[in-house]
Amino acid sequence: MTYKISNDRLCVNRKIAPNLSVNAFFSLVKGLGLNKVEIRNDMKIGSVTDGLGGEKIRDLARQYSLSIETINAVYPFNQLTDEVLEKTRCLLNDARETGAKALVLCPLNDGTDISDEQTVAALKTLAPLFAEYGVQGLVEPLGFPQSSLRSAALAQQLIKQAARHLKSCSIPSITICMKGLNRTSRGAWMLTISDWCTSRV
């Protein structure tokens, strides 16, 4: 059985063409007849916005009729230090300025053990920040053997556990994300085209 996926549910990760400027990347996506993109903070220039500023990126996205679905990524979200918190605030500000709907949260991926309790504590700390900025958080389990959070089922469980302890903000500010499949604000699944193999949920 084959399924046809609407173009409106395809999101293109900037990693597919890392040497293109953000303007050229947006032009490429528009030329493909698609309208959703993921931008990143690990490009060669070292900036989500290529040094252009969030307002310029928002204007470019509008010019090409594109929706910036996500920024990738806060790392390592579950080893929360002052440096990671500051990085999170900066990326949340980038998301707000560019109009990105969500910010991806990636777990530590170097073989170091991170307890479930540490991950829950990190989520409890981060959720109010995401709510403050009005940005969705997407926890992305990484399937690598050395990843500290490989299982989507466990990630969902830990998010729910953190939610039980949060009264002042809505934990739906943070939800689950799989590389390849992201849940949109309307609850539908969206396929992200990237240099990674897609995952099936």
Please state the φ and ψ torsions of residue 118, each to the nearest 5 degrees: -65, -40
Q: How confident is the model at residue 167 (pLDDT cuts 50, 70, 90)?
A: low
Report the domain count for the chain.
1
Q: Rounded to two decimals, what is the model's pTM? A: 0.85
Q: Is residue 161 part of a domain?
A: yes
Domain that holds residue 19: 7-193
- Of the candidates 166, 167, 189, which has an alpha carbon nearest to the alpha carbon of residue 176? 189
Q: Is residue 201 part of a domain?
A: no
98 falls within a domain: yes
| Residue 92 domain flag | yes
CATH number of the domain residue 116 falls in: 3.20.20.150
Residue-wise pLDDT for 97-106, tens only, equals: 999 999 999 9
**φ, ψ for residue 82, nearest 5 deg:** -60, -40
